[in-house]
Each structure stands twice: as C-alpha cells, then as structure tokens.
Amino acid sequence: MKTIVLDPIADTTAVKRAAELLLAGEVVGMPTETVYGLAANALDEKAVKKIFEAKGRPQDNPLIVHIADVDALGQVSADVPEAARRLAKAYWPGPLTMVLPRAACIPDTVTAGLSTVGVRLPAHPLARALIRQAGVPIAAPSANRSGRPSTTTSAHVLADMDGRIPAILEGGPCQVGVESTIVSLTGDKPRLLRPGGISLEQLRAVLGEVEIDRALREQIGDDEKVSAPGMKYRHYAPKAPVIVVCGDPELTAAYIQKHLTNETGVLCFTEFAYLFEMHEMRTMGTASDPITQARRIFDALRSFDETNVQEIYTQCPDDEGIGLAVANRLKKAAGFQVVTVV
C-alpha cells in the first residue's frame, strides 16, 4: 500500500477524498490541534481494528471518539452529566477529552470493553470538516507507532505509517503539540487521567475540585488496573533512554553539564543552549514558555533517533499550566527515570 498525502491547499477535494476513505472502512491520518490522529469510522468495528494493526497497539487500550458538533455528544454517550455540558461550553472545540458512560452504538473494540467512552470535539478546522463530511463519529488515537513519540506533523505520520495506511490529510504542524487533557466524569468526583492542552487550573475553574490520578506521578505495573489503560505502557520514547532532570533551570543545566559524555543528547531550555553546543542538543523554548515547549517536545524526541546518542538528558518545566503535560510526557518517555536537583 502506498500512503498518499492529501493536501487541501493543492487539492480542493482532499477532505472529501479522505472522508470517502473513512466511509469505505479505511484508516486516514487526521490533523488535530493537539497531535495527528489515526482516524477510522467509530461505528465500523472492522475499520477500528485496522487502527490497532497499523499502530501495533495493545487491544486493552481504548480509543477516543471525535465529534464535530456538541449535539453529537448524546449520540456517543448514554448519559451526559451536567458537568460535561459546562466543560463543553468552556473548552470545546479544543484539547479536552471527557470520559463518559458509553452509548450502545459504540463498539467494544473502541472502548476496549469498558462501560465508558472518551469523547473529544477537536478545534482543528480540518478535523471538524473531515468528521462532518464523513457524517459519523471518528475513533482516533495519536498517529505514532505504539510506544513512539506522538506525531505533530504529517512528516512524522508518514515516518511511522508509510505503507500502513492509504492516506494522510495535510493540516500543517499541530498548534498545541501535546495530546488532549483527559478528565473522567463517571466517578464521585471529576478525575484528571492525563494532563494536556487544557490545564488543571482551567478544569478546576469550571468543575471545582478535580482529583489527580496516581498514574500521572509514577510508573504503573503491567498487571495493575488503571483508569486510562494507555497510561501503564512506556510511551513517547525515542530509542535512547531518557533521563529527566527536575529543579531550578540553572541547577539542572549544571547537573546535565556535569554528567555529559560524547554520546549524550540534550534537550534543554533555549537560554542554556550555549552550554551544550558541542553535543547533540535540541531546544524546547525558554524555561518560562511551556506553550512553545509543548509544540516542540515530540519533534525533538523523535529527532534523536536520527543520531547516535546513547542517552538523552532533558530539563523539565514545572507543573504550572500546560507545563504539567510537558513534564508528564517527558517523564513517561523516561519511564519515570527522574533526577531532582536541589
């Protein structure tokens, strides 16, 4: 199979052609504002199975269902709580996924047999155009091969999926750069399952109290039960092992400098780049700019695979705003190998 890139700028039928592929039961690379997804018709179990095959994804890891209009929420969820309506009003379209009771029309393959479904209304205009044109809810995980860093450009999707899917819809580089925030609204209290483009502070502004799932802080064992099954797998990982160095940026830069060898890659805040110029070094934006860090981290992590580095040291933002999501992805890429410098 040859993978083609459908570019709506060069070809006005690109969205229509992508939608036709979806309705024919195929998997298509879909741009969103967070990361590129691997899209399939969520109501077509055979199509959804192709996503798992293309990614090499474990079957017990459920997929997020994407809709183009708030009205479709009632179609994919059996019971939409009032809190979900409030969150939708505040942050949709946008980088927020809500876990809700699932509707009967959503196949087991999508939810991995859970009684809940993750739902998101993306902000990227091409994602919404594609979902509207297809006229069905769209299941889509991030478009990386399972375990690899997520895909924030069509080139990343092509690198992981060439020959595995028929087409990618070109939508430019992703503006947010880390995946959606996942919040579960099915328990007693709202619970943050994955930090992302909508910050914890933003969630609390609408919901009041929000609990934080344990999996955000530590590695979960293989046989343990977790709220979002995806959280137990090693994720976002380049080939070389990653070590995350937390603490005051001046101190973490000094720590990394002290531990460098010729085979070390460094992912650092832009203001410290001059310290590492002789090494394989990538910058992620300044320490005070987690929005830029979010846009750059997956591309930076991926780029180390084209080098010979044997280990990667990275600085780490603090937990404020989208920094919580950036820190979470870096720690997961490191399998929670974290050094804190004080």
Does 199 interact with ligand TXA (rule: CB under 6 A)?
no
Q: Is 268 in the site for ligand TXA (CB under 6 A)?
A: no
Q: How many residues does the chain have?
A: 342
* String of contacts with ligand TXA for each residue 230-249, x by CB under 6 A: xx------------------
Place of tokens 């976002």: 236
Which position among 77, 97, 109, 152 is part of the footprint of ligand TXA (CB under 6 A)?
Answer: 97
Asked if 154 is part of the footprint of ligand TXA (rule: CB under 6 A), the reply reads no
Which amino acid is located at 218 in the chain?
E
Q: Which is nearer to ligand TXA, 192 or 267 (CB)?
A: 192
Looking at this protein, which amino acid is placed at residue 69? D
Question: From the CB of 115, what's the least distance to ligand TXA, in Å?
Answer: 8
- CA 283/CA 276 separation, integer angstroms: 10
Cα–Cα distance between 148 and 237 in angstroms, integer? 5
Does the footprint of ligand TXA cover residue 58 (CB under 6 A)?
no
Taking the complex as a whole, the smallest distance from the CB of residue 114 to ligand TXA amounts, in Å, to 5
Angstrom distance (rounded) from CA 237 to CA 229: 17
Handedness of CA 177, 35, 156, 150 (dihedral sign): positive
How many Cα atoms occupy the beta-carbon half-sphere of 147 within 13 Å?
A: 9
Residue 118 binds ligand TXA (CB under 6 A): yes
Burial of 328 (0-12, 13-18, 19+ CB in 10 A): buried
**Can residue 165 be called a binding residue for ligand TXA (CB under 6 A)?**
no
Q: Decide: is 229 part of the binding site for ligand TXA (CB under 6 A).
A: yes
CA distance 279 to 292: 22
Judged by beta carbon, residue 25 or residue 147, the one nearer ligand TXA is: 147
Tokens, residue 98: 């809500």
Site map 171..190 versus ligand TXA, x via CB under 6 A = --------xx-x--------
Is residue 141 a contact residue for ligand TXA (CB under 6 A)? yes
3-class secondary-structure state, position 132: helix
The contacts of residue 58 (CB under 8 Å, 6+ apart) are 146, 229, 233
Nearer to ligand TXA, 157 or 253 (CB): 157
> CA 230, CA 55: separation in Å to the nearest integer?
13
Decide whether 309 or 325 has the Cβ nearer to ligand TXA.
Answer: 325
Q: Indicate whether 161 belongs to the interface with ligand TXA (CB under 6 A).
A: no
213: contact with ligand TXA by CB under 6 A: no
Q: Please report, as ranges, the residues that interact with ligand TXA according to CB under 6 A.
A: 32, 34-35, 37, 61-64, 95, 97, 99, 111, 114, 116-118, 120, 122, 140-142, 179-180, 182, 193, 227-231
